Amino acid sequence: MEVIAEYHLGDIASVVGLFLTIGGFIITFWQIRKSKSAAEQAREAAEGVREQLLKMNAFQGLTAAIRSFEDIRRLHRLKAWQVLPDRYTWLKQELILIKGRTPNLSETHKAQIQGAIQQVSIIEGKVEIALGGADEPEVHRINSVISKQIDQLQQVVVDVQNEIERPRQ
């Protein structure tokens, strides 16, 4: 005990203990940060996968919408007015879903899809009026509009496909 008192070993032990405590605290803090960072990275990776899946859904949805536009264009040529209202309804719902669910869709792409929805609504109105006994719509006029929508949606498909292949970092 005298030796301890003589050489102030108690004070040294306290100082060493303090440093050990601080060191332990730093290591614990670093480990917490590391595990938090790993959790964040895992969350970001999961979010990235979710976004990719939604974009792939959008790609499939847009491709299906283009096929539907082509189908509608053929039915217009055949003047199969009776079967068309259901096709218009499906197409509009599909486009609204794509617009609402696709992440990072640009305002331009959203506007193009909204424009397509509006064009379908206008044609739908004309066909419904014709089914009520009024004059049939002019096929060349409505199909010219349909063809333009197909071209514009095709560009959106290409852009979405590019984003799937080269996702943003």
Partner 1 sequence: MAEPKLIEIARLLLENTATGGVRWEKTATKGEFQTSFADYAIMIRGPSSEPSLYLSDEDGDIVEELTSYDVYKLEAENLLGPLYEAARRRALGADEALDQILSILRSGKKKA
Residues that bind partner 1 (CB under 8 A): 92, 96, 99, 107, 110-112, 114-115, 117-124, 126, 137, 141-142, 145, 148
DSSP labels for 18-54? HHHHHHHHHHHHHHHHHHHHHHHHHHHHHHHHHHHHH
Among residues 145 and 164, whose Cβ is nearest to partner 1?
145
* CB closer to partner 1, 111 vs 131: 111
- State the Cα–Cα distance between residues 47 and 99, nearest whole angstrom: 19
Toward partner 1, which CB reaches closer, 24 or 85?
85
Cβ 57 to partner 1 shortest distance, Å: 19
Q: Considering the complex, what minimum distance in angstroms separates the CB of residue 95 from partner 1?
A: 10
Question: Minimum Å distance from CB 107 to partner 1?
Answer: 5
Cβ proximity to partner 1, 34 vs 141, nearer residue: 141
Inter-residue contact 69 to 149 (CB < 8 Å): yes
The pair of three-digit structure tokens given for residue 36, joined into one six-digit string = 């938090």
Residue 79 corresponds to which amino acid?
K
Q: Name every residue whose Cβ is closer than 8 Å to that of residue 44 and which is 6 or more positions away in sequence.
A: none
The smaller minimum CB distance to partner 1, of residues 14 and 93, is found at 93
Q: Please say whether the beta carbons of 58 and 101 come within 8 A.
A: yes
DSSP characters for 81-93? GGGHHHHHHHHHH
Q: How far is the CB of 117 from partner 1 (least distance, A)?
A: 5
Minimum gap (Å) between residue 161 Cβ and partner 1 = 21
